[in-house]
Structure 1
Amino acid sequence: MAESIDESMAFKFEVEPGFSIIKLKNNRPIDKNFFHKGDSNVIQMHFGIQGSYQLNFNNGNYHLEIGENNSYLIYNPQVNLPVDLLLHARTRAIVLLISIDKFHSFFTKEANLIHFLNPENIEKKYYLEKALEPSLMIVLNQIYNYGLHSSLEKLYTRGKVYELLSLYFHQSDADDKQKCPYLEDDNNVEKIRLAKEILIDNFAEPPTLTDLANQVNLPLQYLKDGFKHIYGETAFAFLFNYKMEYARNLLTTKKYNIAEISFEVGYSTPSHFIAAFKKKYGSTPKKYLQSIGV
Structure 2
Amino acid sequence: MPITLSQADYANWLDESTATATEGDMMAYPATLRKGKQRYVALREGIDLCIEDLWLNDDLEIQHCDRAHPLEFTFEQVQGGGKSSQRYDFFGSGLAPAEVWRVPGQRRIVSVNVHIESFIFQQWIGDSSEDRQVLELLRPADQRYFECSGTPTAAMQMAVQAILHCPFQGLTQRLYLESKVWELMALLIEDLLTVSRECSLPALKPDDVERIHYASNLLRRQLTHPPSLIDLARAVGINDHKLKVGFRQVFGTTVFGYLHEHRMERSRQLLESGDLSVTEAAQAVGFASRGHFAAAFRRKYGVNPGVYARQRRA
- Using the size of structure 2 for normalisation, the TM-score is 0.49
Counterpart for residue 226 of structure 2: none
Structure with larger Rg: 2
Deviations 1:21-73 (A, max 9, x none): 110113x596786979894322221113x4459xxxxxxxxxxxx933x3221
Counterpart for residue 74 of structure 1: 91
For the residues of structure 1 that align with 2:128 and 2:172, how far apart are their CA atoms? 30
For the residues of structure 2 that align with 1:96 and 1:139, how far apart are their CA atoms? 13
Contact 1:41 1:100 in 2 (8 A): no
Counterpart for residue 16 of structure 1: 44
- Name the aligned partner's letter for residue 268 of structure 2: N
For the residues of structure 2 that align with 1:282 and 1:29, how far apart are their CA atoms? 37
For the pair 1:2 / 2:48, whether they are aligned, the reply is no
Deviation of the 1:233 alpha carbon: 1.3
Q: 1:249 aligns with which of 243, 249, 268?
A: 268
For the residues of structure 2 that align with 1:91 and 1:161, how far apart are their CA atoms? 20
Deviation of the 1:238 alpha carbon: 7.6
Deviation of the 1:98 alpha carbon: 2.0
For the residues of structure 1 that align with 2:195 and 2:265, how far apart are their CA atoms? 30
Counterpart for residue 278 of structure 1: 285
Question: Which stretch shifts more, 105-114 or 140-149?
Answer: 105-114
Counterpart for residue 195 of structure 1: none
- Name the aligned partner's letter for residue 2 of structure 1: E
Question: Which stretch shifts more, 17-26 or 153-162?
Answer: 153-162
Alignment of 1:1-294 (within 5 A): 2=23, 6=28, 8-26=36-54, 39-48=67-76, 50-52=77-79, 67-68=85-86, 70-75=87-92, 77-79=95-97, 89-108=107-126, 111-113=129-131, 115=133, 117-118=135-136, 123-150=143-170, 152-169=172-189, 171=190, 173-174=192-193, 176-177=195-196, 180=199, 228=248, 232-233=252-253, 244-254=263-273, 278=285, 292-293=305-306, 294=309
- Using the size of structure 1 for normalisation, the TM-score is 0.52
Deviations 1:189-237 (A, max 9, x none): xxxxxxxxxxxxxxxxxxxxxxxxxxxxxxxxxxxx9994798516x98
User: Cα RMSD (Å) of the superposition?
Assistant: 4.9
Deviation of the 1:134 alpha carbon: 2.7
Question: Which stretch shifts more, 94-103 or 246-255?
Answer: 246-255
Aligned length: 217
Counterpart for residue 208 of structure 2: none
Deviation of the 1:173 alpha carbon: 3.3
Q: Where do 5+ consecutive residues of structure 1 fail to align?
A: 54-65, 183-224, 259-273
For the residues of structure 1 that align with 2:191 and 2:267, how far apart are their CA atoms? 32
Structure 1 residues 119 and 15: alpha-carbon distance in aligned structure 2, compared to 1, 3 A threshold: closer
Structure 1 residues 12 and 87: alpha-carbon distance in aligned structure 2, compared to 1, 3 A threshold: farther
Contact 1:13 1:22 in 2 (8 A): yes
Contact 1:34 1:83 in 2 (8 A): yes
For the residues of structure 2 that align with 1:157 and 1:36, how far apart are their CA atoms? 31
Aligned-residue identity in percent: 11
